[in-house]
Amino acid sequence: QKEVEQNSGPLSVPEGAIASLNCTYSDRGSQSFFWYRQYSGKSPELIMFIYSNGDKEDGRFTAQLNKASQYVSLLIRDSQPSDSATYLCASTHGGSYIPTFGRGTSLIVHP
Amino acid sequence: DGGITQSPKYLFRKEGQNVTLSCEQNLNHDAMYWYRQDPGQGLRLIYYSQIVNDFQKGDIAEGYSVSREKKESFPLTVTSAQKNPTAFYLCASREQAGVSSYEQYFGPGTRLTVT
């Protein structure tokens, strides 16, 4: 059974701080990893993807992948109240038709 | 503008009625998916389709049916056999189903309430 695990939270951070969201996966064959942001009542939107070990930066967001330890993380620098949302982690396996989603971590950024 | 549209945004039905949720994409994506999301829960896969005229059951297909007669369209019917149909339904598409690097794009969702 392929699984992606996330702490449901909520993770509460003050405005301006770094928010660190973590995700672990069970399938060693997983190749690609995606972070989606989902505001309450809205659909998920892709914010980051990563395929290779190491860090990938895009603006205030950094995705980190460690395939040996089977974890993926998302760092949000200078967190803003508008970052308050649920963050979904997903993985795909080469040749798989179905991404595996975690249940999401709720992030609250308070002023 | 390329994207995925779902209609309607909100849908209300009486128990015992079948209802069809629309999903259309103009991204020329091969694969399409239907998910259900309940409050505080993750995404649960209902059905998916890799190509036209072919689809497979996901984890919670009971009480649902789909068709894929055109590449751009993947409607979902919630039948009266679905015991607890009230939920937020999300349609997604992906460029090629079997390539791991391709991300999914989601439509805006349909919130179905059955009373």
Quote the tokens at residue A40. Answer: 């309450």
Q: Which of A101, A60, A37, A65 is nearest to B41 (CA)?
A: A101
The β-bridge partners of B31 are B94
User: Among residues 67-106 of chain B, which lie with CB inside 8 Å of chain A?
Assistant: 88, 90, 94, 97-106
Show the CA angle centred on residue B99, arms to residues B93 and A23, nearest 5°: 80
B39 touches chain A (CB under 8 A): no
Structure tokens at B105: 């794009």
Amino acid at A25: Y
Q: Which residues of A touch B29 (CB under 8 A)?
A: none
How many helices, marked H, and strands, marked E, lie in chain B? Answer: 0, 11
pLDDT, position A44:
96
Contact: B41, A101; criterion CB under 8 Å: no
Give the model's confidence band at B102: pLDDT under 50 very low, under 70 low, under 90 confident, else very high.
Answer: confident
User: Residue A16 is encoded by which pair of tokens?
Assistant: 């301006």
Q: Look over chain A and give the mean of its residue pLDDT values, rounded to a whole number.
A: 93
pLDDT score recorded for residue B101: 66
Q: What is the pLDDT along chain A (111 residues), one digit of tens a residue?
A: 678 999 989 999 999 999 999 999 998 888 889 999 999 999 999 999 999 999 999 999 999 999 999 999 999 999 999 999 999 999 987 667 688 899 999 999 999
What is the rounded CA–CA span in Å between residue B19 and residue B51?
Answer: 24
Q: Which of B99, B103, B109 sits opposite A46 (nearest CB)?
A: B103
